[in-house]
Amino acid sequence: MKIRKVGYYPNPDDQVPESGGIHGCYELLVIQQGHANLEWLGQLYTVEEPAAFLLSPNSPHKLLSSSTSLRYLYVEFEIIDATIFPALPQLLQWNSLQGRMETMQSEVELFRQSMQVLEQLVKQYAHEKSPLLEEALMNDMRKAIVLVRYLLDNANRMEGYIESVQQSQYRTIEAIMRYMESHYREELSLQHLSDLVHLNGSYLIRLFKKLQGKTPFHYLSELRMNAATSYLQNSSLSIQDIAQASGYNSLHYFSQAFKLKNGMSPSEWRDRNNGTG
């Protein structure tokens, strides 16, 4: 590895910040503070700190806009063995992850600490081109690249884990929905439903609402109301029998709920919809 150029902003010795361009070297661009918009290979990345972009040689890049509090550094470097640098698909994945690695807090903190050390080396090396400082900087750059590969590996495993968890959550809620569809006539408590799937009751409500946009008991009410409406339109059962057949233990409650939803009593609705009662 060989360091071609380093820089940082704000820099009292260089009032004009670098805005990007194209060159034949690899580059690490670290957003340390504020937010920035980076254009690279036709992609626009809008990120807040911390973010660390890896750029391949001869790939146009440009900081389009930034916050007034922006603080960043960059290192342009050459590599003899290009296999240690992530390939383009991994670079695209890594750069797209910037600002979106909340599920990897401990690993990201490790990388952030590495970048803090790198910042001190970059600032020192920018003013003192010492061979020993360059060696220290190159060692930290190698470490940064290895950490990127480690984080990418973790991200891929975490993505698979999250996908597995999400599938499990959907299956759980589907099971609850199918159960309610078969047992809507019965008295169903939160405790009973949560015991079926071995979940805490409050968590079950939150998860159901997250995935279905409604609580389980809202869904149960819809099932019962749909059943009652079908009975009203297609049977000659009495209102009392319809209430019981639809899972309502109280005729008064059923009538109130029906009127709240439809703006009229069950009997009035049946008459208007050519029922047989």
130-183 pLDDT, tens digit each = 999 999 999 999 999 988 888 888 777 766 656 667 788 898 999 999 999 999
pLDDT one-digit tens code per residue, 181-224: 999 999 999 999 999 988 899 999 999 999 999 999 999 999 99
- Residue 124, helix vs strand vs coil: helix
- Does residue 63 fall inside a structural domain? yes
Assess whether 132 and 230 both reside in one domain.
no
Alpha carbons 255 and 265: distance in angstroms, whole number: 6
Assess whether 90 and 176 both reside in one domain.
no
Assess whether 40 and 95 both reside in one domain.
yes
Encoded tokens for 165: 């968890």
pLDDT at 101 (0 to 100) = 65
Assess whether 221 and 134 both reside in one domain.
no
Alpha carbons 194 and 205: distance in angstroms, whole number: 9
Assess whether 193 and 139 both reside in one domain.
no
Assess whether 14 and 150 both reside in one domain.
yes
Number of H helices, E strands in the chain: 9, 8
- Does residue 246 fall inside a structural domain? yes
Domain residues for the domain of 183 are 163-214
pLDDT one-digit tens code per residue, 99-117: 766 555 666 788 888 888 9
Alpha carbons 97 and 93: distance in angstroms, whole number: 6
- Does residue 232 fall inside a structural domain? yes
- Does residue 277 fall inside a structural domain? no
Q: Distance from first CA to last CA of the chain, Å, rounded?
A: 87
Assess whether 167 and 133 both reside in one domain.
no
- Residue 28, helix vs strand vs coil: strand
What DSSP state is assigned to residue 12?
A: T
Assess whether 9 and 137 both reside in one domain.
yes
Q: Supply the CATH number for residue 141's domain.
A: 2.60.120
Assess whether 189 and 122 both reside in one domain.
no
The number of distinct structural domains making up the chain is 3
Encoded tokens for 70: 């922006």
Name beta bridge partners: 6.
75
